[in-house]
Structure 1
């Protein structure tokens, strides 16, 4: 279940995935290369807490987005509710 293609949405992570994401962010060169390979550009860490994360919609879209290109979704890590490592609308440096 993905939203209509013209409707933007946020993918979300669970707490275990967020912990790994933060560890990976600290390994700059491989993280930059992986970001460019998978997303086409560097993926910045701009944590937010959206309504979709709070109501569970974001994790549903995330699971669907991960399955779309036939990625294996390991529910040991991806099962559960979406989490943000920050409070709603945290300040972003430089903005």
Structure 2
């Protein structure tokens, strides 16, 4: 009998490096509490959400300098579930958004033909890899066409529905203290 041991080399840095350890642990704890997943799975999906948000933040920064640099990238279902949990932990999510994008990284739920066809995910993968972080194939391969968003959320994706806040928010830059 011959036993072959396959060694899988992880290419890229550990996504945990993107946030302080205490913030990472809070995100892991929140996800595990709601999804009752194993600790190793939870750590990996939280890491992939951080990679996705890092890539989204880089696109956001670049598109502010040059609007033609904007490209829409999308999470897979498991990564989007981790994103939903992170959004609820505002004391982590806001500073993380500011660190990655110099602004808030908004979540606009949508399911459309771009996602269903797999084109959006195919476009996403190179941006994830460009972060230099490890892109875990379990969370990205064979996930095209997936979204946590049901069909009725299709009308929530566009900016056309967003309006002005009027006098409630000043027109000048906001200062946020931590």
Q: TM-score range by the shorter chain?
A: 0.7 to 0.9
Could you say what the CA RMSD is over the residues aligned between the two structures, in angstroms?
Answer: 2.5
2:81–2:148 Cα contact (<8 Å) kept? no
Counterpart of 1:53?
Answer: 115
The runs of at least 4 consecutive aligned structure 1 residues that moved more than 4 Å come to 91-95
- Paired positions, count: 91
Specify the SS of the correspondent of 1:58. helix
Pick from 64, 69, 78 the counterpart of residue 140 of structure 2: 78
User: In the superposition, relative to structure 1, how do residues 44 and 91 fare at CA in structure 2: closer, same or farther (>3 Å)?
Assistant: closer
CA distance in 1, matches of 2:69, 2:112: 15
CA distance in 2, matches of 1:46, 1:67: 23
Unaligned runs of 5+ in 1: none
CA distance in 2, matches of 1:8, 1:51: 19
Unaligned runs of 5+ in 2: 1-66, 164-178
Question: Structure 1 length normalisation: TM-score?
Answer: 0.78
| Most deviating of 82-91 and 65-74 | 82-91
Q: Comparing both chains, which one has the higher relative contact order based on Cα–Cα distances under 8 Å and sequence gaps of 6 or more? A: 1
